[in-house]
Copies of this chain bind each other. A is one copy, B any other.
Amino acid sequence: VGANPSSPQASRSSLSDVARLAGVSPATASRVISGADYPVSATLRAKVEQAARTLGYTPDPVARAMATGRSRTIGVIVGAATDPYFAEVTHGVEERARRDGYLTILCSSDRELDVETAYLRLLREHRAAGAVLVGGAFDDSARLEAFRREVELATEQGMEVVCLAPRPHLAGVPTVSVDDRRMMADLTGYLASLGHRRLAFVGPADGFSTSDVRLAGLRETVAALQLPEPMVLRTGFDYHAGRQAAIRMLEDDLPDAVIGFSDETALGVLMTLRDAGVAVPERVSVAGVDSTREAEFVGLTTISIPMRELGAAAAARIIDPAREAGLAREVIKHRIVPRQTTARRVVPAMAAARA
Protein backbone atom coordinates (compact mmCIF):
# COMPACT_ATOMS: atom_id res chain seq x y z
CA VAL A 1 0.00 0.00 0.00
CA GLY A 2 1.16 3.52 -0.65
CA ALA A 3 2.52 5.68 -3.36
CA ASN A 4 5.73 6.16 -5.19
CA PRO A 5 6.69 2.54 -5.28
CA SER A 6 9.09 2.49 -8.19
CA SER A 7 11.55 4.98 -6.75
CA PRO A 8 14.52 3.41 -5.04
CA GLN A 9 14.55 6.64 -3.02
CA ALA A 10 18.01 7.31 -1.66
CA SER A 11 16.49 7.19 1.80
CA ARG A 12 15.55 10.81 2.15
CA SER A 13 14.70 11.62 5.69
CA SER A 14 11.40 13.23 6.54
CA LEU A 15 10.30 15.61 9.20
CA SER A 16 9.06 12.80 11.40
CA ASP A 17 12.51 11.23 11.25
CA VAL A 18 13.92 14.46 12.55
CA ALA A 19 11.25 14.63 15.23
CA ARG A 20 11.90 11.10 16.34
CA LEU A 21 15.65 11.61 16.55
CA ALA A 22 15.16 14.83 18.45
CA GLY A 23 12.66 13.20 20.75
CA VAL A 24 9.91 15.68 20.02
CA SER A 25 6.61 15.65 18.19
CA PRO A 26 6.42 16.27 14.44
CA ALA A 27 4.57 19.47 15.19
CA THR A 28 7.44 20.89 17.18
CA ALA A 29 9.92 19.83 14.56
CA SER A 30 7.82 21.50 11.90
CA ARG A 31 7.62 24.73 13.84
CA VAL A 32 11.37 24.87 14.17
CA ILE A 33 12.18 23.84 10.63
CA SER A 34 9.62 25.99 8.90
CA GLY A 35 10.72 29.00 10.89
CA ALA A 36 7.21 29.66 12.08
CA ASP A 37 6.93 32.42 14.64
CA TYR A 38 5.47 29.98 17.08
CA PRO A 39 6.90 29.70 20.56
CA VAL A 40 9.29 26.77 20.96
CA SER A 41 11.62 26.44 23.90
CA ALA A 42 15.27 27.01 23.18
CA THR A 43 16.11 23.51 24.35
CA LEU A 44 13.83 21.72 21.95
CA ARG A 45 14.70 24.10 19.17
CA ALA A 46 18.34 23.20 19.52
CA LYS A 47 17.57 19.51 19.63
CA VAL A 48 15.54 19.70 16.46
CA GLU A 49 18.19 21.70 14.67
CA GLN A 50 20.82 19.23 15.71
CA ALA A 51 18.77 16.29 14.57
CA ALA A 52 18.06 17.94 11.24
CA ARG A 53 21.75 18.52 10.71
CA THR A 54 22.63 14.96 11.61
CA LEU A 55 20.12 13.58 9.16
CA GLY A 56 20.95 16.12 6.48
CA TYR A 57 17.28 16.88 6.43
CA THR A 58 15.76 19.11 3.75
CA PRO A 59 12.08 19.97 3.66
CA ASP A 60 10.20 18.52 0.73
CA PRO A 61 9.02 21.38 -1.49
CA VAL A 62 6.18 19.37 -2.98
CA ALA A 63 4.77 18.34 0.36
CA ARG A 64 5.08 21.92 1.48
CA ALA A 65 3.25 23.16 -1.57
CA MET A 66 0.58 20.61 -0.84
CA ALA A 67 0.18 21.77 2.73
CA THR A 68 0.57 25.50 2.32
CA GLY A 69 -0.77 26.06 -1.15
CA ARG A 70 2.39 27.85 -2.16
CA SER A 71 5.59 26.71 -3.82
CA ARG A 72 8.87 28.53 -4.11
CA THR A 73 8.45 29.02 -7.78
CA ILE A 74 8.14 32.08 -10.01
CA GLY A 75 6.69 32.14 -13.48
CA VAL A 76 7.96 34.62 -16.00
CA ILE A 77 5.75 35.09 -19.02
CA VAL A 78 7.48 36.59 -22.03
CA GLY A 79 6.55 37.16 -25.63
CA ALA A 80 9.53 35.29 -27.04
CA ALA A 81 12.21 33.57 -25.00
CA THR A 82 14.96 34.32 -27.48
CA ASP A 83 14.30 38.02 -27.75
CA PRO A 84 17.29 39.67 -26.05
CA TYR A 85 15.11 42.01 -24.03
CA PHE A 86 13.04 39.18 -22.62
CA ALA A 87 16.08 37.03 -22.09
CA GLU A 88 17.71 39.74 -20.05
CA VAL A 89 14.67 40.39 -17.89
CA THR A 90 14.22 36.68 -17.36
CA HIS A 91 17.81 36.39 -16.27
CA GLY A 92 17.17 39.13 -13.75
CA VAL A 93 14.27 37.17 -12.33
CA GLU A 94 16.29 33.99 -12.25
CA GLU A 95 19.22 35.52 -10.41
CA ARG A 96 17.02 37.01 -7.73
CA ALA A 97 14.95 33.86 -7.44
CA ARG A 98 17.99 31.64 -7.16
CA ARG A 99 19.27 33.67 -4.22
CA ASP A 100 16.28 32.55 -2.22
CA GLY A 101 16.07 29.03 -3.52
CA TYR A 102 13.18 29.81 -5.83
CA LEU A 103 12.82 28.15 -9.18
CA THR A 104 12.14 30.22 -12.29
CA ILE A 105 9.61 28.92 -14.77
CA LEU A 106 10.06 30.20 -18.28
CA CYS A 107 6.83 30.74 -20.18
CA SER A 108 7.17 31.88 -23.76
CA SER A 109 3.86 32.90 -25.25
CA ASP A 110 4.59 33.81 -28.86
CA ARG A 111 2.69 36.92 -27.82
CA GLU A 112 -0.55 34.96 -27.86
CA LEU A 113 -2.94 35.90 -25.12
CA ASP A 114 -4.32 32.38 -25.10
CA VAL A 115 -0.93 30.95 -24.35
CA GLU A 116 -0.43 33.44 -21.56
CA THR A 117 -3.77 32.47 -20.12
CA ALA A 118 -2.93 28.79 -20.30
CA TYR A 119 0.42 29.37 -18.65
CA LEU A 120 -1.11 31.45 -15.93
CA ARG A 121 -3.46 28.63 -15.16
CA LEU A 122 -0.71 26.07 -15.13
CA LEU A 123 1.30 28.25 -12.79
CA ARG A 124 -1.63 28.61 -10.49
CA GLU A 125 -2.22 24.89 -10.42
CA HIS A 126 1.43 24.38 -9.59
CA ARG A 127 1.02 26.84 -6.71
CA ALA A 128 3.57 29.28 -8.10
CA ALA A 129 4.34 32.08 -5.69
CA GLY A 130 3.84 34.57 -8.46
CA ALA A 131 3.99 35.46 -12.11
CA VAL A 132 5.77 38.22 -13.97
CA LEU A 133 4.09 39.52 -17.10
CA VAL A 134 7.03 40.99 -18.90
CA GLY A 135 5.88 42.42 -22.19
CA GLY A 136 2.91 44.20 -23.63
CA ALA A 137 0.04 42.46 -25.35
CA PHE A 138 -2.34 42.82 -28.22
CA ASP A 139 -5.71 44.14 -27.30
CA ASP A 140 -7.30 40.87 -28.29
CA SER A 141 -10.75 41.55 -26.97
CA ALA A 142 -12.03 38.09 -27.78
CA ARG A 143 -9.45 36.44 -25.57
CA LEU A 144 -9.11 39.20 -23.06
CA GLU A 145 -11.90 38.21 -20.75
CA ALA A 146 -10.51 34.73 -20.17
CA PHE A 147 -7.12 36.23 -19.50
CA ARG A 148 -8.42 38.69 -16.96
CA ARG A 149 -10.37 35.99 -15.24
CA GLU A 150 -7.26 33.90 -14.96
CA VAL A 151 -5.29 36.77 -13.49
CA GLU A 152 -8.06 37.27 -11.01
CA LEU A 153 -8.09 33.60 -10.04
CA ALA A 154 -4.35 33.69 -9.58
CA THR A 155 -4.59 36.68 -7.33
CA GLU A 156 -7.42 35.16 -5.33
CA GLN A 157 -5.30 32.12 -4.76
CA GLY A 158 -2.62 34.29 -3.24
CA MET A 159 -0.29 34.50 -6.21
CA GLU A 160 1.55 37.75 -6.76
CA VAL A 161 1.14 38.99 -10.29
CA VAL A 162 3.48 41.73 -11.45
CA CYS A 163 3.51 43.57 -14.75
CA LEU A 164 6.72 44.88 -16.24
CA ALA A 165 4.85 46.84 -18.88
CA PRO A 166 1.48 48.49 -18.45
CA ARG A 167 -1.44 46.30 -19.48
CA PRO A 168 -4.28 48.67 -20.13
CA HIS A 169 -6.94 46.11 -19.31
CA LEU A 170 -5.32 44.91 -16.13
CA ALA A 171 -6.13 47.61 -13.65
CA GLY A 172 -5.06 46.99 -10.10
CA VAL A 173 -2.15 44.76 -11.00
CA PRO A 174 1.08 46.20 -9.63
CA THR A 175 3.28 47.46 -12.42
CA VAL A 176 6.84 48.57 -12.52
CA SER A 177 7.96 49.92 -15.87
CA VAL A 178 9.36 52.81 -17.80
CA ASP A 179 7.17 55.61 -19.05
CA ASP A 180 6.76 54.55 -22.64
CA ARG A 181 5.09 57.72 -23.78
CA ARG A 182 7.64 60.02 -22.31
CA MET A 183 10.52 57.82 -23.36
CA MET A 184 9.51 58.03 -26.96
CA ALA A 185 8.84 61.74 -26.66
CA ASP A 186 12.37 62.23 -25.41
CA LEU A 187 13.84 60.16 -28.19
CA THR A 188 11.82 62.05 -30.76
CA GLY A 189 12.99 65.33 -29.29
CA TYR A 190 16.55 64.14 -29.41
CA LEU A 191 16.32 63.26 -33.08
CA ALA A 192 14.60 66.55 -33.85
CA SER A 193 17.39 68.35 -32.06
CA LEU A 194 19.78 66.75 -34.52
CA GLY A 195 17.85 68.39 -37.32
CA HIS A 196 15.77 65.41 -38.40
CA ARG A 197 12.28 66.23 -39.55
CA ARG A 198 10.92 63.24 -41.44
CA LEU A 199 10.68 60.47 -38.88
CA ALA A 200 9.68 56.84 -39.26
CA PHE A 201 8.50 54.37 -36.65
CA VAL A 202 8.80 50.63 -37.14
CA GLY A 203 6.77 48.36 -34.91
CA PRO A 204 4.03 45.78 -34.57
CA ALA A 205 0.49 46.00 -35.84
CA ASP A 206 -1.96 48.40 -34.31
CA GLY A 207 -3.36 47.41 -30.94
CA PHE A 208 -0.22 46.32 -29.16
CA SER A 209 -0.19 48.04 -25.81
CA THR A 210 3.34 49.32 -25.42
CA SER A 211 3.75 50.09 -29.08
CA ASP A 212 0.59 52.15 -29.20
CA VAL A 213 1.77 54.21 -26.27
CA ARG A 214 5.20 54.73 -27.74
CA LEU A 215 3.72 55.79 -31.00
CA ALA A 216 1.50 58.24 -29.19
CA GLY A 217 4.55 59.76 -27.54
CA LEU A 218 6.18 60.09 -30.90
CA ARG A 219 3.14 61.70 -32.48
CA GLU A 220 2.67 64.20 -29.68
CA THR A 221 6.20 65.41 -29.99
CA VAL A 222 6.07 65.51 -33.73
CA ALA A 223 2.99 67.68 -33.48
CA ALA A 224 4.47 69.91 -30.81
CA LEU A 225 7.56 70.51 -32.88
CA GLN A 226 5.55 70.92 -36.04
CA LEU A 227 7.41 68.22 -37.87
CA PRO A 228 5.79 66.47 -40.82
CA GLU A 229 3.55 63.50 -40.22
CA PRO A 230 5.74 60.49 -39.35
CA MET A 231 5.86 57.34 -41.48
CA VAL A 232 4.58 54.33 -39.56
CA LEU A 233 5.57 50.86 -40.70
CA ARG A 234 3.79 48.06 -38.92
CA THR A 235 5.84 45.03 -39.79
CA GLY A 236 6.36 43.41 -36.41
CA PHE A 237 8.63 43.10 -33.40
CA ASP A 238 11.79 41.45 -34.44
CA TYR A 239 14.84 41.75 -36.58
CA HIS A 240 12.99 40.50 -39.61
CA ALA A 241 10.31 43.10 -39.15
CA GLY A 242 13.03 45.71 -39.25
CA ARG A 243 14.37 44.29 -42.48
CA GLN A 244 10.97 44.31 -44.10
CA ALA A 245 10.36 47.87 -43.06
CA ALA A 246 13.72 48.95 -44.40
CA ILE A 247 13.05 47.28 -47.72
CA ARG A 248 9.79 49.11 -47.97
CA MET A 249 11.50 52.38 -47.18
CA LEU A 250 14.14 51.73 -49.77
CA GLU A 251 11.52 51.10 -52.42
CA ASP A 252 9.41 53.97 -51.34
CA ASP A 253 11.06 56.86 -49.63
CA LEU A 254 13.81 57.31 -47.06
CA PRO A 255 13.06 59.28 -43.91
CA ASP A 256 15.64 61.33 -42.02
CA ALA A 257 15.56 59.05 -39.05
CA VAL A 258 14.04 55.73 -38.05
CA ILE A 259 12.91 54.68 -34.59
CA GLY A 260 12.45 51.00 -33.92
CA PHE A 261 9.96 49.60 -31.44
CA SER A 262 12.88 47.71 -29.96
CA ASP A 263 16.58 47.30 -30.55
CA GLU A 264 15.82 44.16 -32.51
CA THR A 265 13.66 45.98 -35.00
CA ALA A 266 16.07 48.88 -35.22
CA LEU A 267 18.93 46.50 -35.93
CA GLY A 268 16.99 44.95 -38.76
CA VAL A 269 16.50 48.37 -40.24
CA LEU A 270 20.12 49.33 -39.71
CA MET A 271 21.66 46.26 -41.27
CA THR A 272 19.35 46.31 -44.24
CA LEU A 273 19.91 49.95 -44.99
CA ARG A 274 23.67 49.51 -44.81
CA ASP A 275 23.52 46.40 -46.97
CA ALA A 276 21.69 48.49 -49.53
CA GLY A 277 24.44 51.08 -49.43
CA VAL A 278 22.59 53.67 -47.43
CA ALA A 279 24.96 55.47 -45.09
CA VAL A 280 23.97 55.35 -41.44
CA PRO A 281 24.06 57.80 -39.76
CA GLU A 282 25.14 60.13 -42.55
CA ARG A 283 22.06 59.69 -44.70
CA VAL A 284 19.62 58.17 -42.20
CA SER A 285 19.78 58.00 -38.43
CA VAL A 286 18.54 54.88 -36.68
CA ALA A 287 17.60 54.40 -33.03
CA GLY A 288 16.10 51.63 -30.98
CA VAL A 289 14.74 50.99 -27.51
CA ASP A 290 15.98 48.61 -24.77
CA SER A 291 19.76 48.89 -24.77
CA THR A 292 20.30 45.22 -25.30
CA ARG A 293 23.83 43.95 -25.66
CA GLU A 294 23.40 43.58 -29.40
CA ALA A 295 22.73 47.27 -29.64
CA GLU A 296 25.91 47.94 -27.76
CA PHE A 297 27.83 45.64 -30.05
CA VAL A 298 26.96 47.55 -33.18
CA GLY A 299 26.85 50.99 -31.61
CA LEU A 300 23.12 51.51 -32.00
CA THR A 301 21.65 54.58 -30.38
CA THR A 302 18.98 53.46 -27.97
CA ILE A 303 17.13 54.05 -24.75
CA SER A 304 18.48 52.43 -21.67
CA ILE A 305 16.11 50.28 -19.68
CA PRO A 306 17.48 48.39 -16.66
CA MET A 307 16.31 44.99 -17.81
CA ARG A 308 17.95 42.80 -15.20
CA GLU A 309 16.97 45.13 -12.42
CA LEU A 310 13.39 45.11 -13.62
CA GLY A 311 13.34 41.35 -13.48
CA ALA A 312 15.03 41.28 -10.11
CA ALA A 313 12.60 43.83 -8.72
CA ALA A 314 9.63 41.83 -9.89
CA ALA A 315 11.07 38.68 -8.36
CA ALA A 316 11.75 40.49 -5.09
CA ARG A 317 8.16 41.63 -4.98
CA ILE A 318 6.99 38.07 -5.38
CA ILE A 319 9.37 36.56 -2.89
CA ASP A 320 8.61 39.11 -0.23
CA PRO A 321 5.35 40.87 -1.00
CA ALA A 322 5.12 42.52 2.40
CA ARG A 323 8.26 44.54 1.91
CA GLU A 324 7.08 46.51 -1.07
CA ALA A 325 3.36 46.31 -0.64
CA GLY A 326 2.96 50.07 -0.88
CA LEU A 327 3.70 51.21 -4.36
CA ALA A 328 1.39 49.75 -6.94
CA ARG A 329 2.73 51.60 -9.91
CA GLU A 330 6.43 52.26 -9.94
CA VAL A 331 8.09 54.17 -12.76
CA ILE A 332 11.63 53.42 -13.78
CA LYS A 333 13.79 56.13 -15.22
CA HIS A 334 14.97 55.75 -18.76
CA ARG A 335 17.90 57.46 -20.41
CA ILE A 336 18.90 58.12 -24.00
CA VAL A 337 22.13 56.43 -25.00
CA PRO A 338 23.49 58.24 -28.05
CA ARG A 339 25.82 56.10 -30.11
CA GLN A 340 27.06 55.85 -33.66
CA THR A 341 23.84 55.31 -35.58
CA THR A 342 22.48 58.76 -35.04
CA ALA A 343 24.05 62.04 -36.12
CA ARG A 344 23.20 65.57 -37.03
CA ARG A 345 21.27 65.75 -40.23
CA VAL A 346 23.27 66.57 -43.32
CA VAL A 347 21.04 68.55 -45.66
CA PRO A 348 21.38 67.50 -49.29
CA ALA A 349 23.01 70.77 -50.42
CA MET A 350 25.67 70.45 -47.77
CA ALA A 351 26.18 66.84 -48.59
CA ALA A 352 26.73 67.75 -52.21
CA ALA A 353 29.11 70.50 -51.22
CA ARG A 354 31.05 68.09 -49.04
CA ALA A 355 31.24 65.47 -51.70
Q: Which of A16-24, A39-47, A99-107, A182-190 contacts B (4 or more CB under 8 A)?
A: A99-107
Within 8 A of B (CB), among A69-105: 69, 71, 73, 80-82, 84, 87-88, 90-91, 94-95, 98, 101, 103-105
Residue contact B71 to A81, C-beta cutoff 8 Å: no
* Residue on B nearest A75 in the bound complex, by CB: B103
The residues of B that contact A3 with a CB separation of less than 8 Å are 66-69
Residue contact B108 to A106, C-beta cutoff 8 Å: no
A107 to B267, CA, bound (A): 29
Q: State the oligomeric state as a number of copies.
A: 2
Q: Which of A139-147, A170-178, A279-287, A290-298 contacts B (4 or more CB under 8 A)?
A: A290-298
Residue contact A82 to B87, C-beta cutoff 8 Å: yes
Residue contact A7 to B69, C-beta cutoff 8 Å: yes
The residues of B that contact A297 with a CB separation of less than 8 Å are 239, 267-268, 271, 294
Residue contact A94 to B106, C-beta cutoff 8 Å: yes
Residue of B4, B105, B127 near A106 (CB, 8 A) is: B105
Instruction: Say if the beta carbon of A65 comes within 8 Å of chain B.
Output: yes
Residue contact B271 to A156, C-beta cutoff 8 Å: no
Within 8 A of B (CB), among A1-49: 3-4, 6-10
Residue contact B108 to A95, C-beta cutoff 8 Å: yes
Chain A residues packing against B (C-beta within 8 Å)? 3-4, 6-10, 58, 60-63, 65-69, 71, 73, 80-82, 84, 87-88, 90-91, 94-95, 98, 101, 103-108, 115, 122-123, 125-127, 153, 156-158, 239, 267-268, 271, 293-294, 297-298
